[in-house]
Structure formats: structure tokens, C-alpha cells
Structure 1
């Protein structure tokens, strides 16, 4: 088995943050919360778990990081709906900042605009 061509039961998904590897029970255990909390943030559309062939919710590591941030806010007294909105806005801000940095880098590498 090599890093370039992984084989085995996970088919190379060990490093895939978006692979839905965790059941609801395992995800709740890892977050130190209840399955009800995961259902609540799903209903608030913070995360949308994928479903197994049997219809069971499956969560990725990326979704667990999002859920963990929401849980931090809820533990501080923020209502679930508000916590979900805050996490969504934080994620949008991070993406906007990333894009802005890319645009600035592209503009800087293209040199000054031609003189008129």
C-alpha cells in the first residue's frame, strides 16, 4: 500500500476532511454532546449530514469542526439558532478574506497598471 494509491476498507479517505466517516453516535461522543444537538444544528441548516445506504446520518471531520464551534457558542449561552448563524457568518467571512488575499496577490504579481 502506497500513499499514491491507497487501498483498504477506507479506499484512501483517511485524509479526506469531507468523507462522511462518523455515525451520529460516534460524532456526538467525539463532540461531547447528544445526538439531539446534532439533529438541531442539522435542522438549523448549519450542517447537512450525508446518509448511509440504510438512511443513517454520517458526518465528516469538516462537519464535526463546524459542530464543535457551534457547541462552544451554545455552551456560552448562545441559543442554537443564533450559534448556527454566527458560525455561518464566520465561515463566510473567512472565505471572503481568503478570496481577498488571493486577489491582492494576483494584482501585486501583475505589476502596476499601464500609464494613461
Structure 2
């Protein structure tokens, strides 16, 4: 039996709120596309108690970026690698900014 959603879950970008059908419809793609992203290890959906794939808003944003790249002609494996590298670059920039703005040691 599933738990009722709480207010915190509605605000949680990582809460797996969307079924594969919902996610595919929102992205204008197919469930097979989402499964391919999972096989490429770009996104790994959580599973409901019944074993069904469930996606978060964060995962849907990643999938939307992948779809954008694929629609531009990029192979799905290359699109996944590009997204991973983009994410790593953003994380490195964030860490660099934190280090630059940190108080210097005495």
C-alpha cells in the first residue's frame, strides 16, 4: 500500500512522483526512451512497491536535456555522456566558487 503524499514530498525534487507513462507524456517521448536512459545509466528510476518505475522532477529535467540532444541528432549514448560531463562541470564550478569566496586561513 502506498503512503499518502506529504507537503514536503511535493517540494522534493528527488521524490519519485511520476510513473513512466506520466514522465513520457510530460517529455513528449516514449517509455522506451526513458528505459534507454536507464540502461545508459543516466537516470535510475526508483521502483514502487509493485516494481513499477517512478521518476523525480530532477530526473525528468535530465531526461528532457537528453531528449533535446537526441532531437538535435546526437546519439543517445553520446547525449548521456554530454549530460554527465555538463553536471561534473557545474559541480566543479560550484566548488571553485566556494573555495574562492571562503575566508582565507589565518
After TM superposition, list the pairs within 5 Å mapping 1:52-67 onto structure 2.
52-67=48-63
TM-score normalised by L of structure 1 = 0.85
Report the alpha carbon displacement of residue 10 of structure 1 after superposing the two structures with TM: 1.1
Q: Distance in 2 between matches of 1:100 and 1:29?
A: 38
Question: Are 2:9 and 1:16 aligned?
Answer: no
Between Structure 1 and Structure 2, how many residues are aligned? 103
> RMSD across aligned C-alpha pairs, in angstroms?
1.4
Question: Are 2:84 and 1:88 aligned?
Answer: yes
Where does the alignment leave 5 or more consecutive residues of structure 1 unmatched? 1-7
TM-score normalised by L of structure 2 = 0.93
Where does the alignment leave 5 or more consecutive residues of structure 2 unmatched? none
The runs of at least 4 consecutive aligned structure 1 residues that moved more than 3 Å come to none
Report the alpha carbon displacement of residue 46 of structure 1 after superposing the two structures with TM: 0.2
Residue in structure 2 matched with residue 104 of structure 1 by the alignment: 100
After TM superposition, list the pairs within 5 Å mapping 1:2-81 onto structure 2.
9-11=4-6, 12-81=8-77
1:13 partner SS: helix
Q: Distance in 1 between matches of 2:5 and 2:50?
A: 18
Report the alpha carbon displacement of residue 9 of structure 1 after superposing the two structures with TM: 2.6
More helix by share: 2
Higher relative contact order (CA 8 A, sep 6+): 2
